[in-house]
Every structure is written in structure tokens, then in C-alpha cells.
Structure 1
């Protein structure tokens, strides 16, 4: 449903697929303007091309490597130049760096450049525009920030650090800028389907995963988008400095059959 309010300008990282694509689509359906980016070029970003075709006047796409601070800075500059303002930043880009605590130094550095530093630097670059608009920053972290499993380091460590980033942005940049974190759990994306497909029996792997969720299913990408839409609205104006877990109750379970 299209909003009757004036369109906001929303910048979102990681919009070529998965959760980021769903978040972008949610804001576009709400009548907002979305300026998205991802590592993939437009030629390789099929879903981004579809959004460009469906929303030619309200969706814009840039190829950006968010591990490179100069590219982040240029992206924010280009985004603000397009419409003269930025109202919402959804810092979503990231990937699973599941190498284990004995990972190589290069894995550690890449993980923190992508899954932590990029979020801080995006917020830093967008701060002047957000101060003018009294805007909102949403940081997408993970339920691994709260509890994790063997082999998921250093990813979980950076995701935990994002909880503190959300707090610091809130207490140092408020009240002009409001910051909230979102920690999704298992969301039904193409990437997670590839993980199912890596098992000898993909159907069984999916069923076992579903059984670990008290709500009886795994999450949908558009649900993350709807939560973003709410948290960046006036109705959520008293929510700040916290990170909301959306994992279908998975983190409520102390132990499951896969743990000896």
C-alpha cells in the first residue's frame, strides 16, 4: 500500500539480493525513494534490474565495495546529490565469514572491514544529512550477536560489536539521529537455500531447521523489510539504542538434538 506521506529518501546497502532486496522492495511499495548499493555490478544484479524496471523514478542502484571507505563516502555523496536529502539509512551489507576462531588474519580483517567497519563508516558519512532530516539509522546485525555455534567466528564477534555501535550512535548522535539494530535469525533467502542444498538431503535439512524454531517456520525476507519500515516510522520514535531479535524464538532454546 502506498503511503500518503511525502516520499522519504532511503539508502540501503546490500540490495542486490536476499534481505537487502526485500527491505528495498518494502520501502518502494510504501512510496519511498530507495538508493541502493551492493558489491555486484548491475549486469550481475538481476533483482536490482527488476526493481529498476518496476520503479524507474524511485529506485537507484550503485555498485559499491563497502570494505573500501572511499567508495562508501562517494556512495553517500551521490545519494544525497540525487535528491538533496537522506532520511533513513539501512546498513545491511555483510556476509557469513564462518572460518572458526583459528581463522587466518586475512579472514579476520576482511570480516571486520565488511561486517563492522563498513556500518560505522556509512553512518559517519551519512551523519550530516541525517542531522538535517532528523533521520534514522537501522543497523542489520544477526542473532549470532547474542548466541552462536562452533565455527561461526569471526562473524559472530563482529555482529556482537554492532550492538555496541547501535548504543554509541544513539547516545552520541541523539536526539537528532535515532539508531536501532535488527538481529534476524534464519531467513529464507537464496543463500540459505544453497546451504540446505549442500546437505545430502536438502529437504531433511530444511525440516530439521524448521523444528528448531518454536514458531514452526523460518523467517521471510519481507518480514525484515516490514520491521525496518516500522522502526523508521514516527510510531517507533521511542525505540532507540537497542537491537531487536527476530528469529522465530530460536534463541529461546537452550539446547537441541544437534548438540552433544
Structure 2
């Protein structure tokens, strides 16, 4: 790995597993000093030099405390990766007020809270925000109404941050497709035949496989670095070609 992120002090939300864990490992390997967070205890995988802060980003006071503690222990935050997210697998008719509060609280308000907390300190020193959106904010997944809507919010907020806070801050979003994470497993478990659903999902990818958390971490690391200096206000789809294809598959015509 290069050390091209050595100028950055980074906060990565939701760093305990999946994409968040991969991002923490990648930006740390690339030289950034990193703080990460979650609502539980410190994960065993974290090296000693990564700061763990227990926090719920849906709460404004926790977001403010997270940024304050990261700044106190590491220095002014120059890179924020808004990764924390949850999935409520229900239709609109099935969703409750509690489902709304959970889904919108973490996926929407969490991104807003964290961005608002870091932006004042980023002015003048090349701040970068990378939001983890989803292709589900562009093409809707079944029975995931609030999740789909929450990710569309993330994409729109990304553009607003870029135009309102540039050139001091660059802000982009990464839109993963189906990535091998616990959240993906939960989605497949909803199918009548999870194994068949997974096989069908793989066939739909021109790349011949589902994504890995490291695939997403790689583009996050690029967007955080100076090579991406002219990229801002954009949503980068990384989905193995899934959304590039029509529903027709070999043998269906």
C-alpha cells in the first residue's frame, strides 16, 4: 500500500464490520490516522492505533462528541467516511413509525449529523467527505422502501454539500451494488430459497461475482486522495455491472 493518505485524520462511521471495517483497514494502511465508531464494544480486529468511540450517529450529541474526541486524540478531522447504515426490509404498508425512526435516523440523520459536525473544522485544509450510498437509491429493491428512500437522500445530500462547501471540501458518494456482507445475507434470507437467490444474483453481474468490502474500500481510498482532486458532487456506482445490464440473460431469447 502507498501512504498517499498520510495527511488525513479520518473518521469512519460504522467501522465494526463489512464495508466499514474494510474502509478502516484500507485508509489506515494508506497512512491516515483513523477513528471509528459503532453502538457496541470495540471490535477485536482493530489495531491499537485506531481510535474506537462508542456512539450512535443518529443522535446529534453523539456525532458532535465523536468529532470532538477524534479531534482531541488525533487532530482536526480532514476525512469523513459516512458508512454507518441499517436495513429495514419492509414495504411502505408494512413499515411502522419505529422502522422509520431507525432507518431514517441512522441512514439519513446520521449522515447529516456527522457532516454538520465536521464541516466547520474542515474549512481551509482540504476536507473530504465520502458517503456510502447504494444502487438501491437509484433502482429500488423489493420490500426495502425506507432503505431505498434513505439512500436517495444520501445521494442528494452529497451534491448539496459539494456545491455549498467547495472548494474547501470535496464530497462524493460511492454506490455499492450487492456486496458480500451481513446485510446482504439478511436480504437473501428473505427469499424462499436463499441459495437459489444468491446464484441468480451472481448470474446478473457481468463481473461474474458479487462485490467484496475491499472493492468499495478501494474507491473510497481513491476519492480521499489527491488523485481525485477534481471529483466532487458525484455518485460513483460500483456494482460489478449489475445496473448496466437489461433483465434479459443468456438463454432467455
TM-score scaled by length of structure 1: 0.89
> Is residue 10–residue 34 contact of structure 1 (8 Å, CA) maintained in 2?
yes
Matched, 1:130 2:122: yes
3-state SS of 2:44 partner: helix
Per the TM alignment, residue 203 of structure 1 is displaced from its structure 2 partner at its CA by: 4.0
> Is residue 6–residue 30 contact of structure 2 (8 Å, CA) maintained in 1?
no
3-state SS of 1:133 partner: coil
Instruction: Please tell me the root mean square deviation across aligned C-alpha atoms, in Å.
Output: 1.9
Structure 1 residues 74 and 153: alpha-carbon distance in aligned structure 2, compared to 1, 3 A threshold: same
TM-score scaled by length of structure 2: 0.91
> Is residue 89–residue 187 contact of structure 2 (8 Å, CA) maintained in 1?
no
Please give the residue correspondences for 1:120-199 in structure 2 after superposition, counting only pairs within 5 Å.
120-196=112-188
Matched, 1:50 2:42: no
Structure 1 residues 5 and 13: alpha-carbon distance in aligned structure 2, compared to 1, 3 A threshold: closer
Structure 1 residues 211 and 5: alpha-carbon distance in aligned structure 2, compared to 1, 3 A threshold: closer
Structure 1 residues 82 and 209: alpha-carbon distance in aligned structure 2, compared to 1, 3 A threshold: same
Q: How far, CA to CA, are the matches of 1:160 and 1:68 in structure 2?
A: 21
Matched, 1:17 2:26: no
Please give the residue correspondences for 1:166-245 in structure 2 after superposition, counting only pairs within 5 Å.
166-196=158-188, 202-245=194-237
Structure 1 residues 224 and 72: alpha-carbon distance in aligned structure 2, compared to 1, 3 A threshold: same
Post-superposition, which runs of at least 4 consecutive aligned residues in structure 1 deviate over 6 A?
A: none
Q: How far, CA to CA, are the matches of 1:144 and 1:83 in structure 2?
A: 35
> Is residue 139–residue 166 contact of structure 1 (8 Å, CA) maintained in 2?
yes
> Is residue 212–residue 256 contact of structure 1 (8 Å, CA) maintained in 2?
no
Per the TM alignment, residue 110 of structure 1 is displaced from its structure 2 partner at its CA by: 2.1
Matched with 1:60 is 51
Q: How far, CA to CA, are the matches of 2:165 and 2:145 in structure 1?
A: 30
3-state SS of 1:123 partner: helix
Unmatched 5+ stretches in structure 2 = none
Q: How far, CA to CA, are the matches of 2:5 and 2:175 in structure 1?
A: 28
Structure 1 residues 161 and 199: alpha-carbon distance in aligned structure 2, compared to 1, 3 A threshold: closer
3-state SS of 1:137 partner: strand
Greater mean alpha carbon deviation, residues 227-236 or residues 186-195: 186-195
Deviations 1:127-147 (A, max 9, x none): 122114221000111100110
Matched with 2:82 is 91
**Matched pairs, number:** 248
Per the TM alignment, residue 174 of structure 1 is displaced from its structure 2 partner at its CA by: 0.6
Please give the residue correspondences for 1:1-16 in structure 2 after superposition, counting only pairs within 5 Å.
1-3=1-3, 6-16=6-16
3-state SS of 1:219 partner: coil
Per the TM alignment, residue 85 of structure 1 is displaced from its structure 2 partner at its CA by: 1.3
Structure 1 residues 256 and 144: alpha-carbon distance in aligned structure 2, compared to 1, 3 A threshold: farther
